[in-house]
Structure 1
Amino acid sequence: MTDDVVARARSGDEQAFAELVGPYRRKLHLHCYRLLGSLTDAEDVLQETLVAAWRGLHEFQQRASVRTWLYRIATNRCLNHVRDRARRVPPSPVPPFDPPARTRRSEITWLQPYPDALLDQLPQPASDPETRYGLRESVELAFVAGLQRLPPRQTAALVLRDVLGYSTAEAAAILGVTPTVVKGALQRARATLAQDRPTEPSAERTAVGPQEEQDLPHRFAAAFLAGDVPGLLRLLTDDAWLAMPPAPHVYRGPAAIAAFLRASGEWRDRRTGVLLPTRANRQPAFGYYLAEGGEPLARPAGMVVLTLRAGRLAGVTRFLDDRLLARFGLPAAAPTAGARDGVPT
């Protein structure tokens, strides 16, 4: 069947090509997102991958599977994109108020969330002894951000081996290096991620029950909309962090987060906020809207994604890109009347 589809695609049959790559398109999109950390970049590189596959069909000798052939193209396109990333890093926004001194500076300013609606269209991968991460763990924001801090080849080696389940030899063939190089890159990548994520992802996930998945976002939204800083602080872990891509500011610990919330709260005091619930990276999220005093409609003001751990909030990622809301199917404006209706129940 595949031989016939490949032959028809090589003859210029676009329908056959769509049939050939269709089962992998969404998986490739997620693969590009993991490697790049940006939904926008993933969409661009996926298109480059499909164009390269169409043009390179005559070179596909079918010694590897269609899946491996496509992942080889996508992985190397992503690595090329990372090498050019200095020209693509988004500019840092200028805050409308004077923020307090940050705890540290984040270099991962291109990070974007990934819609759960797209993840829901993927089949849950079967358990594989060669795969360290399930679908949920491998798309969490902390994991994706951690990948961005690795050298590109280490990132690719870890994703190919520990997420996709390729053997060392297969990963080496995809990357065009020796198995020894893959083993070294993988060992270093695992060690670095272990330092950043001392708690195993699966343990972190099971520590948050269904009721907490519902209650914590609700309590966060109610306190956030009310400007209740003490109420927000009661929800945080002792090592909680607040990040705001594409701004490089990161605030770690309740005291630093409180200082930022008070400064931003003074600026928001004359404005009405609305939060509309959604899901991103298998985590609770909100579309955020703001309206000037008296305006009936609030306009997009970015997104908020919550990281939950052991019944508390371990992280709040405040994305400042208003264009993200449309990617999540959220409206272009939200009514300010009954703004608290945006809080999930």
Structure 2
Amino acid sequence: MTQTVLDRARAGDEQAFRELTEPYRGELRLHCYRILGSLSDAEDLVQETMVAAWKGIAGFEGRAAIRTWLYRIATNRCLNAKRDAARRRIAQPTAPFRVPEPNGRNEVAWLQPYPDALLDQVADADPGPEARYVGREAVELAFITGLQLLPPRQAAALVLRDVLGFPAGEVADMIGAGPTALKGILQRARASVDRHRAGEDPPPESSEEERALTRRFADALTAGDIDGVVELLTDDAWLSMPPAPHEYHGREAIAAFLASGAAWRAAHTVRQLPTRVNRQPALGYYVMDPGPGFAYPPGLTVLTFRRDRIRAIIRFVDPGPLSRFGLPDAL
């Protein structure tokens, strides 16, 4: 960044403003996604951040880096959105077959997947040795879900400090907390997130072991082999279907849910295509009627592994266009 570009932006030059801010759009989107758990909300919040930055660039004095200034704006927008989200109602999908009574409830119904293609476009700036969550673990769905269960300031503080590595003083200033209060906020946030993620030990990313487990799951589900799916599950496995509130915990409950839809699936053509989201294996899920020319809206299934078993199945009922995930929108 040169002072000339900043001066031009302050004077109202839109091209200079874009030159200053566009390099950070991708990482700001990921930052907002971590706090909000929703890709669509994150994209909206980044746009709001850029509008607010454009309106405020004339008063930017340069005491902090442009990146830090943008993160401050984005974080404040996210905190406001988190508070507003408590009043937001999410439309719940209706299954085309009768489902058994769930034995759990999804508390993060707004959760959305994040395409690996977007993750590949941006890497977090080197957070330094103090970062606690780096690389794959900082974007996996278990981590993102754990963040959603935190109070807004705890989630923001943990991401800013333990993922992005901002200095403690800057984080305290961004979330409006004193240094002592920040320590307590981080301690509580870390304990909660670590409890939520306890037991995760997946095979190496994109390894043959991971691909083989994913293929076995896809083949068994497509063939209607419920026993084959259950054989792959850990004893404490669970299945959820955002934005539906239903969750099924344990092998028996998951088997009952799969069995309830077996007859319906048998009357349709089911195809699954592999992709990746949140650095995890995923499957685009397509269901077609026996008659020509019609298919149900496709979904996306994301698998979380513990060693050589499946710990979680997250079936996103309405993930948006699958082209965002490197898949065809329809078959």
TM-score (norm 2): 0.95
**Which deviates further from its counterpart, 275-284 or 189-198?**
189-198
1:124, distance to aligned residue in structure 2 (A): 6.0
Unaligned runs of 5+ in 2: none
Q: Is the 8 A contact 2:112 2:319 kept in 1?
A: no
Contact 1:273–1:298 (8 Å) recurs in 2? no
> How do 1:48-67 and structure 2 match up within 5 A?
48-67=48-67
- Secondary structure in structure 1 of the residue aligned to 2:261: helix
Residues in 1 aligned to 2:172 and 2:281: alpha-carbon distance in whole angstroms: 36
How far apart, CA to CA, are the structure 2 residues paired with 1:122 and 1:270? 43
What are the Cα deviations for residues 172-202 of structure 1, in whole angstroms up to 9, with x where unaligned? 1111221122111111111111222224x6x
Contact 1:270 1:292 in 2 (8 A): yes
Query: What amino acid is aligned across from residue 311 of structure 2 in structure 1?
Result: A
Other structure's SS at 2:298 match: strand
Q: Which residue of 2 aligns with 1:333?
A: 330
Q: Distance in 2 between matches of 1:92 and 1:208?
A: 32
Separation in structure 1 between the aligned mates of residue 124 and residue 192 of structure 2, nearest angstrom: 27
Residue range with higher mean Cα deviation, 175-184 or 284-293? 175-184
In structure 2, distance between residues paired with 1:277 and 1:198: 27
- Separation of aligned partners in 2, 1:148 and 1:277: 27
Give the counterpart letter for 2:32 in structure 1. C
- State the shift of 1:128 in Å: 1.6
| Equivalent of residue 253 in structure 1, options 250, 254, 262 | 250
Question: Which consecutive residues of structure 1, in runs of 5 or more, have no partner in the other structure?
Answer: 335-345
Offset of 1:95 from its aligned partner?
1.8
Whether contact under 8 Å (1:207, 1:310) holds in the other structure is no
* 1:330 to partner: Cα distance: 2.5
Alignment of 1:260-299 (within 5 A): 260-295=257-292, 298-299=295-296
Does residue 2 (structure 1) correspond to residue 31 (structure 2)? The answer is no
Determine which of 240, 243, 246 is the counterpart of 1:243. 240
Is residue 315 of structure 1 aligned with residue 312 of structure 2? yes
d(CA) in 1 for partners of 2:190, 2:115: 26
Within 2, Cα distance between the matches of 1:263 and 1:118? 36
Give the secondary-structure state (helix, strand or coil) at the position aligned to 1:145.
helix
Q: TM-score by structure 1 length? A: 0.91
1:208–1:61 distance in 2 versus 1, CA, 3 Å = closer
Q: 209-218 vs 269-278, which deviates more? A: 209-218
Displacement, 1:326? 3.6
Distance 1:33 1:333, change over 3 A: same
CA RMSD of superposed structures (Å): 1.7
Distance in structure 2 (CA, Å) of the matches to 1:245 and 1:31: 21
Counting only pairs closer than 5 Å after superposition, residues 1-345 of structure 1 correspond to structure 2 as 1-123=1-123, 125-126=125-126, 128-199=128-199, 204-205=201-202, 210-295=207-292, 298-321=295-318, 323-334=320-331
Q: Per-residue deviation at 1:127?
A: 6.2
